[in-house]
A and B are shown apart, each in its own frame.
Chain A
């Protein structure tokens, strides 16, 4: 029939026309409906039933918004946790009392656990003089201590440690110095104070000008030897309200608990110089600690050693899984949205049976009708996808700021959600569209 789709010879209406007159028969015809035309038809029918179209797309909107918001918030939380961990440094090993198996953050002491870690353990580690180890810092901690200077007072976290605290915790001084090993041995009352403590106790004073002044902790006076640099809030304490004092002074003046006659410490943190040695050092420390505590089986260990890197890995893995899981749940709602589109499209095909018949009588091919309805479904779901991305971003923005985690715009999750919604449109739009395309023109013209 190829010759029949060419321009039809004009053989009726023999009106003599001038040469330059418009004759549509002379114009080129593609013999097929242009994509823009199909889009226009689809858009018109969406617009004609605006409320219904919006309600239909709502399933997809909610689905996509949920995916985008959840993934974004999930990523924000994950990034926040990652930030906290990396501010501790990833080549740290933290020794704590109690058996391992609890993946909490370092420094968090479990209630009820007997403190079996002692200063003697830390000294034994130091005596190894292992060159792979850059620093060792035992730490005891007292939260919510009232600190005074003159008439001003504030609350601080007082940490007893060794001078190595500086390298191990990346807690450098902006003014002054850390206390020395000698200060530790002689239990001197000296303190390195956080930046916020300065602001609270010595308003409008320069950091360097407070050196040599004294602060009172539990009515004991300490000389300020250093002021810590301002640090980003990381971990579960604000490092800017920390006061670091020699651990010997801490156990003498603030808190003293003993285990087998030795003062206990909450944690011993070891900084490994080269991140590649972390596992080897961890194994050696485990053996040494087991010997010190006279434990033969790992089931009896009364200590545990945490590796920051592997902990970070396991925490991010947990968050990734969680994010994926939530995303999958949101994906299901997207699927439900797709079924909604299919449902409405089926209704729409039935409703417009006569229109389909008329279009076919006027020369619409099955593929024209198929494209019209398919495109209608795709436009609905893609518009739903775009609106959903917008709403999801807004939700993510407000949730992340409420949770005070970073607002992470996850482009892949948006692209994925949008592609998925387009796929939903194609998948769930195809069956109704094919049904429309297959309608018999005679029957559909007669349809009331």
Chain B
């Protein structure tokens, strides 16, 4: 097996509401390896979103260690988090989240801009990425001028711009019809075939079935972690109890 891109070790996250503490994550551990395509599933309230925010380094865990590309990134300030996000994580959102006033090329350039690349480098790289998702000829268009599926392709191009360690997609087909959704899934598959590590957060079982591995959360704990060749039950050593 290839090396772990990211490794979660007993990740816990508590939210303080008034005087009570609510543990959204109660100790989650798993690795994602280079070139894997993983679905993260779970009902609402399972801690799925919280975990996604931690994996995307939008948030720090309360306890536990998050090792990304060999670096412990579990306790960083917002400045360092922004830098790591920029360099290692490519986000794809359910609602696309393209910047409406920028054309497609400029949208793809945004992460490169924050990395501080020279304009011509950004332009060239962004054009390559647009080309990769098949929208190079539309680079001048504004997001409002293209379809939902195309928007998601641009979002994928933007996520790939910095050649991230992990492509993190949050319900990437949630705002699309079935056919367009399948096209986007096809894009993820072909990217994965090219070696891109993909984590898709979804509540749709159909999506999860398409991935080689799916991780299921429930009540802040791992419920199952199924590889395509085997289904192994998770043995919890977590403080807050085992799987149901």
Return the contact of A13 from the options B58, B78, B97, B194 (Cβ within 8 A).
B194
Contacts of B69 in A (CB 8 A): 4
Return the contact of B87 from the options A4, A11, A361, A441 (Cβ within 8 A).
A4
Q: Is the CB of B110 within 8 A of A362?
A: yes
Q: Is the CB of B87 within 8 A of A27?
A: no
A18-58 residues at the B interface, CB under 8 angstroms: 22, 24-25, 27-34, 37, 44-45, 48
A411 within 8 A of B: no
B116 within 8 A of A: yes
Q: Which residue of B lies closest to A24 (CB)?
A: B125
Instruction: Report the Cα distance A214→B58, complex, angstroms.
Output: 102
Instruction: Report the Cα distance A29→B86, complex, angstroms.
Output: 12
A35-84 residues at the B interface, CB under 8 angstroms: 37, 44-45, 48
Q: Is the CB of B196 within 8 A of A13?
A: yes
Contacts of A37 in B (CB 8 A): 113
Q: Which residue of A lies closest to B69 (CB)?
A: A4
Q: Is the CB of B118 within 8 A of A27?
A: yes
Contacts of B99 in A (CB 8 A): 355, 358-359
A280 within 8 A of B: no
A435 within 8 A of B: no
- Interface 0/1 of B83-101, CB less than 8 Å to A: 1111110010100010101
Contacts of A10 in B (CB 8 A): 163
Q: Is the CB of B194 within 8 A of A1?
A: no
Instruction: Report the Cα distance A32→B34, complex, angstroms.
Output: 28
B205 within 8 A of A: no
A412 within 8 A of B: no
Q: Is the CB of A363 within 8 A of B87?
A: yes
Contacts of B83 in A (CB 8 A): 1, 4-5, 31, 363, 365
On whether A365 and B53 interact (CB within 8 A), knowing A5-B87, A13-B163, A45-B101, the answer reads no
Return the contact of B114 from the options A1, A8, A25, A363 (Cβ within 8 A).
A363
Instruction: Report the Cα distance A36→B117, complex, angstroms.
Output: 13
On whether A33 and B114 interact (CB within 8 A), knowing A25-B163, A358-B97, A365-B78, the answer reads yes
Q: Which residue of A lies closest to B124 (CB)?
A: A22
B80 within 8 A of A: yes
Nearest CB on B from A403, distance (A) = 48
On whether A4 and B78 interact (CB within 8 A), knowing A27-B117, A29-B115, the answer reads no
Instruction: Report the Cα distance A31→B83, complex, angstroms.
Output: 8
Q: Is the CB of B116 within 8 A of A30?
A: yes
Report how many residues on chain B are interfacial, defined by Cβ distance under 8 Å: 46
Q: Is the CB of B110 within 8 A of A31?
A: no
Contacts of B56 in A (CB 8 A): 361
A14 within 8 A of B: yes
Return the contact of A1 from the options B76, B125, B162 (Cβ within 8 A).
B76
Q: Is the CB of A363 within 8 A of B124?
A: no
Instruction: Report the Cα distance A31→B195, complex, angstroms.
Output: 26
Q: Which of A14, A15, A30, A360 has the most CB of B within 10 A?
A: A360
Instruction: Report the Cα distance A34→B87, complex, angstroms.
Output: 17
Instruction: Report the Cα distance A113→B102, complex, angstroms.
Output: 79
Q: Is the CB of A8 within 8 A of B163?
A: yes
Q: Which residue of A lies closest to B76 (CB)?
A: A1
B158 within 8 A of A: yes
Q: Is the CB of A24 within 8 A of B121?
A: yes
- Interface 0/1 of B38-59, CB less than 8 Å to A: 0000000000000001001011
Instruction: Report the Cα distance A1→B88, complex, angstroms.
Output: 12
Q: Is the CB of B85 within 8 A of A363?
A: yes
Instruction: Report the Cα distance A61→B158, complex, angstroms.
Output: 40
Instruction: Report the Cα distance A32→B99, complex, angstroms.
Output: 20
Return the contact of B124 from the options A24, A368, A442 (Cβ within 8 A).
A24
Nearest CB on B from A438, distance (A) = 9
Instruction: Report the Cα distance A45→B99, complex, angstroms.
Output: 11
Q: Is the CB of B101 within 8 A of A4?
A: no
- Interface 0/1 of B175-199, CB less than 8 Å to A: 0000000000000000000111100
Instruction: Report the Cα distance A30→B86, complex, angstroms.
Output: 13
Binding site for B on A (CB under 8 A): 1, 4-5, 8, 10-15, 22, 24-25, 27-34, 37, 44-45, 48, 354-355, 357-368, 441-442, 445
Could you list 16 further interchain pairs (A-B, Cβ under 8 angstroms) beyond the known A22-B128, A361-B56, A445-B97? A4-B87, A8-B87, A11-B34, A12-B163, A13-B194, A24-B128, A24-B163, A32-B116, A33-B113, A361-B85, A363-B82, A363-B115, A365-B82, A441-B58, A441-B59, A442-B59
A-B contact pairs, 29 of them (CB 8 A): A1-B76, A1-B83, A4-B87, A5-B83, A10-B163, A12-B196, A12-B197, A22-B125, A24-B112, A24-B124, A24-B128, A25-B163, A29-B116, A29-B117, A30-B116, A33-B113, A48-B101, A359-B99, A359-B114, A362-B158, A363-B85, A363-B87, A363-B115, A364-B114, A366-B79, A366-B82, A441-B58, A445-B93, A445-B97
